Structure 1
């Protein structure tokens, strides 16, 4: 099976500051990959590379075996910790905006049958994420959890194959987080998504993921800490038994972040 995403000896450097080094890994279609590690280890940089928002300084990234396009595309959706919603648009308009950008990138306008189709798809996705009763509401009227549901709907409207989640539930209350866990796992299965999720919550990483990758530095120089970058230091495929047994190395790494 061809990996949906491949990193081949990827480095990210800003001048003499090395953020990532020697990152080589494959992501299988349909995987749910949790990415953990201490703060500043380059986890969000890893997601930006997968999105096409940033290019590696060295090495290559492949999407379906071909070089990844040098810009984000509709096949990759992203949800951030801070809600990426437009405050001046209603819930329905927020989601339809993604369809307009995908289907009419130059004008941003959909007319006639195309607009009716986009609206129907947006309504269907909003129903899936539990916002069918809030189509005309503005984001300011929504709770944090509802705004994050809206952000997920925005990401799904373009029918992405890969969904990138950057600390998507970190700002939510514990009870709301549990609801969001159920939502995202249901959408993952229903849509056949490949998910890459950055999280500081080690229990969340093992609960949701089919694989946990820990990102950190293998080498340290106390006199020049910027000269060495992070890489994948641990890579755990998970089954139901392993989900209940978090390795001590990973737990210690997460607590340091």
Structure 2
């Protein structure tokens, strides 16, 4: 992992949406986050806390209501090939083969860049080069013989592998994964967890991985973010979600599979559930578990008057 300056920087980020009567509803409340190149960050939190909203901000699909989202010190623009995303529902075109699905992004990019400039023969040559790249990814995901198949001919795990290859071939610096394994059975899910760890090691990319499965979050992540609306401040109960936990997972990374069944894992999951997911346990912002070396927070005096 790169130990130089953080690649991604969010500070004082608020995200609000209008309600039916026009009153703004706060979804994200004062998000502060620094991320270095090559981290594997898992994001957990109660339903509706804004996990997907956070991914959209990092993707550049939305802009914050307040605050800054910076990549390499510059404000994020619209989504581009540097930031790929994989959803729980596969982003595959049912009428295209596996091969054509994987090269779709490269084809679309080349068509836009070289439209009216390259000759037909040159475009065919470039497309062959794309297919050669895609074949390498098919071999890496264990689907070398499935290039001519269609999505409906594949299992759920296979389709998800193709969706990941579809993102990986664009060589993103940041891969955003929004509950990508949520619909898979246990055996396939375990297989896919090991697969994405392997791809993370090989590609040395930065991954944000949203999941409701706390064991999955602690096993996959080198760093866990707990996003929650269940907290309190000196002004009362919080409005909108904050990062209530930001910590490095114990042990090395990637972890051996037996970590999933360890007492350390059990204690970690219990702590996350208690501190971030329980509406009955509203910890004060001064008690947030922000122990990661890059964790930081900004608060206003209304929330924590002791900092005046």
Please state whether the residue corresponding to 1:134 is helix, strand or coil.
Answer: coil
1:49 to 2:57 alignment: yes
Q: What is the CA deviation profile of residues 62-99 of structure 1, one whole-angstrom value per residue up to 9, with x for unaligned ones?
A: 11121111x11101111000111000000000011111
Q: Look up the match of 1:229.
A: 240
Q: What is the CA deviation profile of residues 11-55 of structure 1, one whole-angstrom value per residue up to 9, with x for unaligned ones?
A: 100121111010011011100000000000000000011101111
How far the C-alpha of 1:218 sits from its partner, in A, is 5.2
2:72 to 56, 64, 70: 64
1:10 to 5, 13, 16: 13
TM-score (norm 1): 0.91
Q: Distance in 1 between matches of 2:89 and 2:40?
A: 21
Q: Distance in 2 between matches of 1:31 and 1:63?
A: 15
Q: Distance in 2 between matches of 1:166 and 1:97?
A: 21
Gaps of 5+ in 2: 19-23, 253-258, 280-308
1:23 to 22, 31, 34: 31
Q: What is the CA deviation profile of residues 90-145 of structure 1, one whole-angstrom value per residue up to 9, with x for unaligned ones?
A: 00000111111233336599813311211111111111111111000000111111
1:192 to 2:214 alignment: no
Give the length in aligned residue pairs: 251
Q: Look up the match of 1:250.
A: 272
Please state whether the residue corresponding to 1:232 is helix, strand or coil.
Answer: strand
Please state whether the residue corresponding to 1:204 is helix, strand or coil.
Answer: helix
Cα distance change, pair 254–152 in 1 and its aligned pair in 2 (3 A):
farther
Larger gyration radius, structure 1 or structure 2 = 2
Q: Distance in 1 between matches of 2:6 and 2:108?
A: 28
Gaps of 5+ in 1: none
Q: Distance in 1 between matches of 2:269 and 2:9?
A: 25
